[in-house]
Structure 1
Amino acid sequence: MPERWIPAAGPARGLAVAQLVNSLGDGAYYVCSALYFSQVVGLSAAQIGLGLTVAWGVGAVAGVPLGNLADRRGPRGTAVALALATAVSVAAFLTVRSFLPFVLAACAYATAQCGLAAARQSLLAGLVLLLRMPLISVAVPLWIAEHTTAPGWTVSALLVLNTGAVMLFQVRTAAAVRDLPSAVRTVRSGGALMLVSCAVFAGSALDAPLWALLTVLLVAAGLQVWGEMRQSAGAWQIGFDLAPAGRQGQYQGFFGAGVPVARMLGPLLLTTLIVTWGPPGWLVLGALFLGAGAALGPAVRRAERGRPTAPVAASVRPSRQP
């Protein structure tokens, strides 16, 4: 494997391996969880959306103090403890058979994940390369199951596509992001790609031969992973460049709060837009991606004017959030 894809031996390589293992677990969870909660546990789409909304709301609130804890107690030990808490909370889903235990387990999982992200990003401020497998949203498996005639293994195929794309192209995508202006441009173009991806996903609801349907889904997933890689590359550069020195954990906990907020609102929003509205909902979602990408530029300019210290140089190249 080319040397540029592998961190040098030492802490950077260990962190990259740990991140890869964590990303594989996250990816498997996000691909299977929606179908597990609906088909095995027996929860409705509305219950899943509401429960995840509550859970990621709790996680968003917990992310900042847990990031501050990583600054005070050290990111390595904090990350290990939160990784173990994540594993326990995921195992707890095996015992869930009703709505309230599902909400409690989801809250534990979201809290551990938000804190782990802040602690891990605090470690990355002084290292690495980071390889992360992309998040396949809860909307994709539910969309495939309820709005298309594609076989169930299609979800796994899209996961493989996403994983391979990130492994091969995330570093190359991030290499073009060197400063805040390039980060803003990259995020903006990622939003445009996400809009096109959503439009293609909407087309998969049409009655078509199986080969054509699978082609449409693969094209949509390819555009999605490309857009997400560009968005995450820019977002990570912004997060590290604007962070005050010595306060990476606390700042990343706050900056990363956008991820749990999206997860908090996302399940409820996506089950309404995608599952209920169908193809028009995909177009609305794509417009939201485009608007969010365009709005980041003014937000970064305001943050630059208001920051009290010089930016921290970003010595790593990113991947997407879980």
Structure 2
Amino acid sequence: MPIEILPRSGAPRVLALAQLSNSLGDGAYYVTSALYFTRVVGLSPTQIGLALTIAWAIGSVAGVPLGALADRRGPRGAAVLLALATSASVASFLFIRSFVAFLLAVCLYAVAQCGLAAARQALLAGLVTPAARTGVLAHLQSTLNAGLAVGAALGGLALHHDTPAAYLGVFALDAVSFLLCAVVLLRLPAVAKSAARGKGEPRLAVLRDRPYAVITALNAVLLLRMPLLSLAVPLWVVDRTNAPGWLVSALFVLNTLAVMAFQVRMARGVSGPRTATRAVRASGIVMLASCAVFAFSAAGLEPWLTVAVLVAGAVLQVVAEMQQSAGSWQIGFDLAPAHQVGQYQGFFGTGIPVARTLGPLLLTSLLVVWGVPGWLLLGGMFLAAALATGPAVRWAERTREAAHHRVPADA
């Protein structure tokens, strides 16, 4: 069976092309930005970390009102404007020479990125039938990984030359990629604005939806797998195992290629809340197994056997990632009211910046400091969050049924 990356023609393909365009630039940016701002601009790693923490914290808060704005004003226009804002924020990196300027630029970048993610989800909801959304999102994830992989290779060329001009070329490429994303999004048909709020309905209703908040928090725990692969596993491989350092890069490539090749297939069985919660539950079990295997890699085995164990752990991790992604996409959409998809997706999407902000400190404390017991505790956290997702989804469904039954009585 051939690998499927781009979806079939129509709105899903246009969305995928928009995703591909900006992910190319982002892939190059991710692998070069830290070195540029430390070596060329002269910022310290502490300053960069502080600025990024503040920026993503602000971005996570801004995602909800920007998603609500997309609901009210139309998601296509909002997505285009936010793509242009992201492009402008990246272009400003070309001129940054101080910490304050860097902080302001990355705050704009994080806010625009979080808002763009929410607006895109609202746009997808308006253009794709509910039954097809998870499948389309799987294609978009495959496209994202493909773009990041190619972009990272382009960033590698800049790292090879290691000159200010090479790094600035990467930032220019990323800025242009978001301009192209905005142009591609304009090819989509406009989606109707949401209906006006009902009497007594709060402007940001998602903030009062306790079941959805619980589900979002559980999803944030499950998303700790993101800094696990990019930060914790590399530190573990280098500090606690006898595996060669190049394995870190190989494990990252393995993850990227696996998602590209198999995310669409993994998502095919997810079509509603029941199948989605089963997928999330399965991801927790597999993630626990992955953590146990990673812990075993520190057992002082022969180097080749250590490599095999680490590869096995990475394979289990990426299987769990694809299961969790498919399940969470379905749940996040199914429980969002049709006229408030933007703000609900903006809130659900806060799990990503939360995981990026809190994950590094938590994971380094658990794994680098505690070692093997930390791996087992982390696996237990993944399993507990996954098992709790099913009851939380059922709670959310009951609250929606109760609200539906109250409507005639209030009319």
- TM-score normalised by the shorter chain: which range applies? 0.7 to 0.9
Distance 1:181 1:267, change over 3 A: same
Unpaired segments of 5 or more residues in structure 2?
146-225, 406-411
| Counterpart for residue 190 of structure 2 | none
The number of aligned residues is: 308
Percent identity reads: 64
Q: Which residue of 2 aligns with 1:75?
A: 75
Instruction: Provide closer, same or farther for how the CA distance between residues 65 and 200 of structure 1 changes in structure 2, counting only shifts above 3 A.
Output: same
Question: Taking structure 2 as the reference length, what is the TM-score of the superposition?
Answer: 0.64
Q: Does 1:15 align with 2:15?
A: yes
Cα 1:59–1:215 change in 2 (3 A) is same
Query: Amino acid of the residue matched to residue 249 of structure 1?
Result: G
Q: Deviations over 1:191-236 (max 9, x none)?
A: 1111111222223334344322322222111111110111111111
Say if 1:184 and 1:195 are closer, same or farther in 2 by CA, change over 3 A.
same
Inter-CA distance 18–159: structure 2 relative to 1 (3 Å threshold): farther
Identify the range of structure 1 (49-58 vs 196-205) with the bigger mean alpha-carbon deviation.
Answer: 49-58
Q: Out of 352, 377, 380, which is 1:287 matched to?
A: 380
Q: Which has the larger helix fraction?
A: 2
Name the structure 2 match of 1:244.
Answer: 337
- Tell me what 2:278 maps to: 185
- Give distance in 2, aligned partners of 1:296 and 1:92: 41
1:261–1:74 CA distance, 2 compared to 1 (3 A): same
CA RMSD of aligned residues (A): 3.4
Aligned to 1:157: 250
- Residues 165 and 213 (structure 1), Cα distance of their counterparts in 2 relative to 1, 3 Å cut: same
| Paired residue type of 1:220 | G
Task: Tell me whether 1:230 sits opposite 2:318 in the alignment.
Answer: no
Max radius of gyration: which structure?
Answer: 2
CA 1:98/1:81 → structure 2, altered by over 3 Å: closer, same or farther? same
Deviations, residues 161-192 of structure 1 (Å, cap 9, x unaligned): 11221122111111111211111111011011
CA shift in 2, pair 1:206/1:31, >3 Å? farther
Match of 1:43? 45
Residue 318 of structure 1 corresponds to none
Q: CA deviation at 1:112?
A: 2.5
Q: Contact 1:52/1:267 (CA < 8 Å) preserved in 2?
A: no
**Worse overlay, 26-35 or 127-136:** 26-35
1:57 aligns with 2:150: no
8 Å CA contact 1:198, 1:286 repeated in 2:
yes
Give how far 1:149 is off: 4.4
Label 1:68 to 1:102 Cα distance change in 2 as closer, same or farther (>3 A).
same
Name the TM-score, length of structure 1 as normaliser. Answer: 0.80
